[in-house]
Amino acid sequence: MATIEPTASGLSAHSHTEHAGTHQIGFIRKYIFSTDHKVIGIQFLITTLLMMMVGGALALGVRWKLAFPDTPMPFVGEWLFSSQGGQITPEFYTMLFTMHATVMTFLVVIPILAGAFGNFLIPLMIGADDMAFPKLNMFSYWFMIPAIAFFGFSMADPNAGPAAGWTAYPVLSALAESAPGSQTAQTWWLLGLTCVGVSSMMGSINYLTTIINMRAPGLTMFRLPLTIWAMFITAILQAFALPVLTAAGFMLLADRVFGTCFFIPAGIVVNNADPTVGGGQPLLWQHLFWFYSHPAVYIMLLPAMGMVSDMLSTMSRKPVFGYRPMVYSMSAIAGLGFLVWGHHMFTSGMNPMIGMTFMVSTMLIALPSAIKTFNWLATIWGGKPEFNTVFLNCVAFVSMFVVGGLSGIFMASVPTDVYFHDTYFIVAHFHYVLFGATLFGVFGAIQYWFPKMFARKMSEGLGQLHFLLTFIGFNGTFFPMHMLGIGGMPRRYADPYIHPYLEHFLPMNQLMTYSAMLMGFAQFILLFNFLYSIKFGKKVGRNPWNANTLEWAAPSPPPHGNFDVQPVCYHGPYEYSHPDWNGRDYLMQTDESMEVALAAEAGSSKDQEVST
């Protein structure tokens, strides 16, 4: 694409020297302890995709127990539970759901959005040569490794893994005697959580500084693509909410290790141990945990919302409908997100007046969420979408988000939540938002930005096959959970069928498990497609989607320092299909006008296209 003249401006000289420099540094500095945001982004991406497989395997363990409670677990059952005839024990089941949620939340969804895509995209989309603090960036990736190790130790603990769920409510999580896994496993778990927290914190400071300070000339805040707005707002959420969780995690660690009693009340007796001295407040943990973890659900969603907005616009060849309302509604979601944490605690015995306040503030979030949904639909409406993998995944994002958002409103309302709380209804809800929305957005984003990472496209056929199987498997697994929840099936029970009123749910649970297996299998297609296409995908140039944002003006893959010419930004990111245009339907942010763009295109030498 010849939209930039390869004149030697100040930056191009600078980036060429840097580029030359990278050839001299060795393999280890270049690919392992790299400070290049793109390498770090790809490191995050590959690590999180592998963690997704781990988290998926743990989930299949949970599903196995619920569908075939009396059958030995395949592959590992005989080895792990030889004394139980190969059947999953209740302690192991508890570890499975705790670690599944932990891995998926802290090692997959959060780092794949902020870590992988945030890192890869932010400097490229704002026309910068790297992050503001490249070394900090490198540390933010390397802090994930002890996190993975600590969570791994926690899982492999001989006393059974952590037993308190991903929410780690005390006193279960605070008293070592309270459950087999609450001994050392829970301590490892808290250390893992701390490392994840430090990693994210370093990332968020870096993102904020980079976006505020390093935008290309002409790239005003209201010319930023929505992906960057979303990353920016997410980084603010992280910077303000995360310290609360990290501090709470330290306090809980102190309760376990140094005998403090922040969360332990007096006089509790568990497993015949001496009564606790206490004086602390278990509810304090719930407040601190959810003060972070409600905003965290937006940390797990907003970046995907931003990326989907950009992808839908490009794929539909239309501007995003209502750009500024999109920015304002993301800000509103984030701002309100700090006021609603109590909706996770309606059944904790809180004063009904407070419950009412949290209920109203939670319902208010539905407004900006609805604005975004209608804007996505209006973006597609009247466009000329190509039904490719990217588009299909984005449409799945929007529709699954609607399902998840609507079940959220049921739970936001105190009278219904008192019934639904801790049933499978809530499990349905958060999987629709976290998997149905976020991960479909991520699958689209992988396909969409892959050509920038590796100068090749991923296979479209495999991409659509992966989408189709995942979509069917996903809905087969999670939709019935609404019915189980309404039917009163509690979450986190190793053997729900001891209650006769749940026996008739067994066949439905089996259907869900078969669907989950299908979905798990489909992820191998994604992994194969990803790895295969790095080497054998179809070669493409700088801008294979005819998109407008700055990253598509850089060479593919971008060298160290990113751009061959300092990008200058002339307008917003969504200039598509203007009725007055002839010749082509998009105008890149670096194109001064359509005339200049077409002239540059005509004057470009062919080898420039190929050399990218």
Residues engaged in binding Cu ion (CB under 5 A): 294
The distance of closest approach from Cβ of residue 433 to ligand HEM in the complex, given in angstroms and rounded to an integer, is 4
Instruction: Say how far apart CA 298 and CA 293 lie, in whole Å.
Output: 9
The distance of closest approach from Cβ of residue 113 to Cu ion in the complex, given in angstroms and rounded to an integer, is 17
DSSP string computed for 54-90: HHHHHHHHHHHHHH-TTSPPTTTHHHH-GGGTTPPPH
Nearer to Cu ion, 163 or 301 (CB): 301
The distance of closest approach from Cβ of residue 385 to ligand HEM in the complex, given in angstroms and rounded to an integer, is 25
Pick from 352, 321, 465: nearest CA to 417: 352
**Contact residue for ligand HEM among 253, 426, 489, 525 (CB under 6 A):** 426
**Contact residue for ligand HEM among 301, 428, 455, 469 (CB under 6 A):** 301
Question: Which residue intervals of 413-459 are DSSP H helices?
Answer: 414-420, 424-431, 440-454
Pick from 15, 228, 196, 37: nearest CA to 106: 196
Q: Compute the Cα dihedral for 598, 599, 601, 602 and give only its sign.
A: positive
Q: Which residue, judged by CB position, is nearest to ligand HEM in the bound state? A: 408
CA distances from 222 to 41, 229, 550, 572 (A): 25, 9, 14, 7
Examine residue 253 and tell whether it contacts ligand HEM (CB under 6 A).
Answer: no
Question: Which residue intervals of 455-559 are DSSP H helices?
Answer: 460-486, 506-536
Look at residue 299 and give the partner it binds from Cu ion, ligand HEM, none, a contact being a CB closer than 5 to 8 Å depending on partner kind: none
Which one of 422-430, 442-450, 451-459, 474-482 is the stretch in contact with ligand HEM (CB under 6 A)? 422-430
The distance of closest approach from Cβ of residue 229 to ligand HEM in the complex, given in angstroms and rounded to an integer, is 17
Examine residue 416 and tell whether it contacts ligand HEM (CB under 6 A).
Answer: no
Q: x/- site string to ligand HEM, residues 321 to 360, per CB under 6 A? A: ----------------------xx----------------
Residue 23: partners with Cβ closer than 8 Å, 6 or more residues away: none
**Contact residue for ligand HEM among 54, 168, 412, 516 (CB under 6 A):** 412
* Cβ–Cβ < 8 Å for 545, 557: no
Instruction: Say how far apart CA 304 and CA 307 lie, in whole Å.
Output: 5
Nearer to Cu ion, 293 or 513 (CB): 293
* Cβ–Cβ < 8 Å for 247, 288: yes
Nearer to Cu ion, 345 or 565 (CB): 345
Q: Which of residues 388-407 bind ligand HEM (CB under 6 A)?
A: 405
CA distances from 454 to 42, 172, 379, 555, 558 (A): 10, 47, 29, 10, 9
Which one of 21-29, 245-253, 423-431, 496-504 is the stretch in contact with ligand HEM (CB under 6 A)? 423-431
Q: Classify burial at 303, counting beta carbons within 10 Å of its beta carbon; exposed 0-12, middle 13-18, buried 19 or more.
A: buried
Find the Cα–Cα–Cα–Cα dihedral 304, 310, 313, 314, rounded to 10°: -120
Pick from 283, 442, 298: nearest CA to 365: 298
**Contact residue for ligand HEM among 63, 223, 372, 421 (CB under 6 A):** 421
Residue with tokens 């008739």: 504
Nearer to ligand HEM, 225 or 408 (CB): 408
Question: Which residue intervals of 267-381 are DSSP H helices?
Answer: 282-299, 302-316, 323-337, 352-380
**Contact residue for ligand HEM among 252, 297, 334, 439 (CB under 6 A):** 297
Burial pattern 267-296, b for ≥16 Cβ within 10 A else e, equals ebeeeeeeebeeebebbebbbbbbbbbbbb
Nearer to ligand HEM, 87 or 234 (CB): 234
Q: x/- site string to ligand HEM, residues 120 to 159, per CB under 6 A? A: ----------------------------------------
Nearer to ligand HEM, 43 or 94 (CB): 94
Instruction: Say how far apart CA 287 and CA 295 lie, in whole Å.
Output: 13
Q: Convert 183-230 into a string of H (helix), E (strand) and C (coil).
A: CHHHHHHHHHHHHHHHHHHHHHHHHHHHHHHCCCCCCCHHHCCHHHHH
The distance of closest approach from Cβ of residue 454 to ligand HEM in the complex, given in angstroms and rounded to an integer, is 29
The distance of closest approach from Cβ of residue 369 to ligand HEM in the complex, given in angstroms and rounded to an integer, is 5
Instruction: Say how far apart CA 375 and CA 521 lie, in whole Å.
Output: 34
| Span between the terminal Cα atoms of the chain, in Å | 8
Q: Which residue, judged by CB position, is nearest to Cu ion in the bound state? A: 294
Examine residue 411 and tell whether it contacts ligand HEM (CB under 6 A).
Answer: yes
Nearer to ligand HEM, 2 or 434 (CB): 434
Examine residue 366 and tell whether it contacts ligand HEM (CB under 6 A).
Answer: yes
The distance of closest approach from Cβ of residue 118 to ligand HEM in the complex, given in angstroms and rounded to an integer, is 16
The distance of closest approach from Cβ of residue 311 to Cu ion in the complex, given in angstroms and rounded to an integer, is 26
Instruction: Say how far apart CA 541 and CA 314 lie, in whole Å.
Output: 17
Nearer to ligand HEM, 365 or 597 (CB): 365
The distance of closest approach from Cβ of residue 293 to Cu ion in the complex, given in angstroms and rounded to an integer, is 7
Instruction: Say how far apart CA 233 and CA 333 lie, in whole Å.
Output: 10
Which one of 51-59, 130-138, 250-258, 364-372 is the stretch in contact with ligand HEM (CB under 6 A)? 364-372
* Conformation bin of residue 271: beta by default, left when phi > 0, alpha when psi is -120 to 50: left
Look at residue 405 and give the partner it binds from Cu ion, ligand HEM, none, a contact being a CB closer than 5 to 8 Å depending on partner kind: ligand HEM
Nearer to ligand HEM, 87 or 98 (CB): 98
Nearer to ligand HEM, 405 or 496 (CB): 405
Examine residue 525 and tell whether it contacts ligand HEM (CB under 6 A).
Answer: no
Residue type, 148: I
The DSSP symbol for 559 reads P
Examine residue 362 and tell whether it contacts ligand HEM (CB under 6 A).
Answer: yes
Look at residue 301 and give the partner it binds from ligand HEM, Cu ion, none, a contact being a CB closer than 5 to 8 Å depending on partner kind: ligand HEM
For helices 302-316 and 389-412, angle between their N-to-C axes, nearest 10 degrees = 140
Examine residue 306 and tell whether it contacts ligand HEM (CB under 6 A).
Answer: no
CA distances from 412 to 131, 292, 301, 437 (A): 39, 18, 18, 19
**Contact residue for ligand HEM among 36, 417, 564, 591 (CB under 6 A):** 417
The distance of closest approach from Cβ of residue 554 to ligand HEM in the complex, given in angstroms and rounded to an integer, is 31
The distance of closest approach from Cβ of residue 282 to ligand HEM in the complex, given in angstroms and rounded to an integer, is 16
Q: Which residues bind ligand HEM (CB under 6 A)?
A: 167, 297, 300-301, 343-344, 362, 365-366, 369, 405, 408-409, 411-412, 417, 420-421, 426, 429-430, 433-434, 438
